[in-house]
Amino acid sequence: MSIMIAHIVAAAKNGVIGRDGQLPWSIPEDMKWFRERTRGRALIMGRKTFEAVEHPLPNRLNVVITRQKDYRPKPSDSPNAPVHVVQTIEEAIEYCKARAAQYQNEIFIIGGGEIYHQSVPYVDTIYLTRVHRDYLGDAFYPDPDPNEFRLVEKIDRHDPVPFSFETWIRRDAKNKNGDSDREPPDEIA
């Protein structure tokens, strides 16, 4: 069974993904795309991201990474939004992999900045909404390394601000765990 591990992120031209725990922009089409793409999947996020969202995301497995040994997340009102707390990205991935069949064999890492940086070696796909402006912020996403990832899809949008939906695939089609056995699509022109 092949399990896809992906980053799903919106980042400004200068790499900003957040400011004071919030997105520095409002792009309804991106939020809709995020909801649709992650519905029914396993999500991994840092504690600060979980607290910024203010509740477990419904119809998804919510796995929260924190160094706080006694952390107790706000309980979910929904039976379809389970929350599990772990201390490392490796624990989070293993927990999700053990439940992958229930969550369509996809694991999405949704932030924040530190979690994205720690998890780059594990992902084989990056769904990046690139906002084509610079913003002030305190959380950042690294540009995909073109030696490791290749851009295979780009869809430009212009409302409410110029942005693009980009899909990046790991060049060797194998993440750190060697989990992906698919053939990556051809690079776009």
- Determine the pLDDT at residue 6: 97
pLDDT average, residue stretch 164-169: 97
Residues 6+ apart with CB under 8 A from 154: 164, 165, 166, 167, 188
46 found inside a domain: yes
Is residue 176 included in any domain, yes or no?
A: no
Q: Does any domain span residue 184?
A: no
Structural domain includes residue 185: no
Tell me what the mean pLDDT of segment 99-120 comes to: 94
CA–CA dist 9, 7 (Å, integer): 6
* In-domain check, residue 180: no
Beta-carbon contacts of residue 86 (< 8 Å; ≥ 6 apart): 63, 64, 65, 92, 95
Q: What is the CATH number of the domain that holds 79?
A: 3.40.430.10
Please give the share of the chain, as a percent, with pLDDT higher than 90.
79
Residue 188 confidence (pLDDT) above 60? no
CA angle 165, 125, 188 (to 5 degrees): 55
- Domain tally, the chain: 1
- Residue 187 in any domain: the answer is no
Residue 183 lies in a domain: no
Residue 62, domain extent: 4-170
Query: Whole-number mean pLDDT of the chain?
Result: 90
Query: What's residue 120's pLDDT?
Result: 96
